[in-house]
Chains A and B, each alone.
Chain A
Amino acid sequence: EAGVAQSPRYKIIEKRQSVAFWCNPISGHATLYWYQQILGQGPKLLIQFQNNGVVDDSQLPKDRFSAERLKGVDSTLKIQPAKLEDSAVYLCASSPAGGGALHFGNGTRLTVT
């Protein structure tokens, strides 16, 4: 089975610019997650979708971050405007509707200068 696909792999932007990341989960996986992994730390959950609905976005900085999963399949995470502290790897993961282990993509490494 194809894994979780993410693009781009790398992105460098200046502070105050905007950026978007894309994720395509494993086919049939109802639950989709975006995690932020700052260098030297474990991943931190930003937002969780179940199909096209938001389950938990309590840790998403909503003044600058937004995410959508309009058709319940692929998802986009946007940052506008970016800050230096947003430099991190953004990981997308998916899992089946009944729960279970998360499957991760390779991530997008964002550098904000």
Chain B
Amino acid sequence: AQSVTQPDIHITVSEGASLELRCNYSYGATPYLFWYVQSPGQGLQLLLKYFSGDTLVQGIKGFEAEFKRSQSSFNLRKPSVHWSDAAEYFCAVGSGSARQLTFGSGTQLTVLP
């Protein structure tokens, strides 16, 4: 069965600082990987996805993620965080057809002024 671990429940960074959110997955075949962001009272918005090809994936809002098969990781990064990035971030792994997603428990990001 597939699973996702997000080791950091809560991360606090200062505005303008760099950010890295960790994600480790367990899946028997080639994974389809996603990062979603959720603001309070809102649904989940897709930041980026990895299906195949280049292991460094660019997403919206200046985010990127790198797929590392040897480490079973798909960490999310941003070089300079903005106050509006404060939200909860979810990593997810998809089944072979990317039709079912298993989510991690999320990382809450706080941005200090």
Contact = CB atoms under 8 A, between A and B. Distances in A.
Interface string B73-112: 0000000000000000010100001111111111000000
B42 A95 contact: no
Chain A interface size range: 20 to 34
B42 A42 contact: no
A73 interface: no
B113 interface: no
By secondary structure, the B interface counts as strand
A101 B49 contact: yes
Contacts of A43: 44, 90, 101, 103
Contact of B103 (A42, A99, A100): A42
Interface residues of B, number: 22
Nearest to A41: B105
Contacts of B43: 4, 91, 104-107
A91 B41 CA distance: 11
B105 A45 contact: no
A85 to B, nearest CB: 17
Contacts of A42: 4, 90, 92, 103-106
Contacts of B99: 31, 48, 55, 95, 99
B103 A44 contact: yes
Contacts of A105: 43
B25 interface: no
17 contacts: A41-B105, A42-B92, A42-B103, A42-B104, A42-B106, A45-B102, A48-B99, A55-B99, A91-B43, A95-B99, A99-B99, A101-B46, A102-B101, A104-B43, A104-B44, A106-B42, A109-B41
Given A43-B101, A56-B100, A106-B43, 10 more contacts: A31-B99, A43-B44, A45-B100, A48-B99, A48-B100, A99-B98, A102-B46, A104-B44, A104-B45, A107-B43
Interface of A: 4, 31, 33, 40-45, 48, 55-56, 91, 93, 95, 99-107, 109
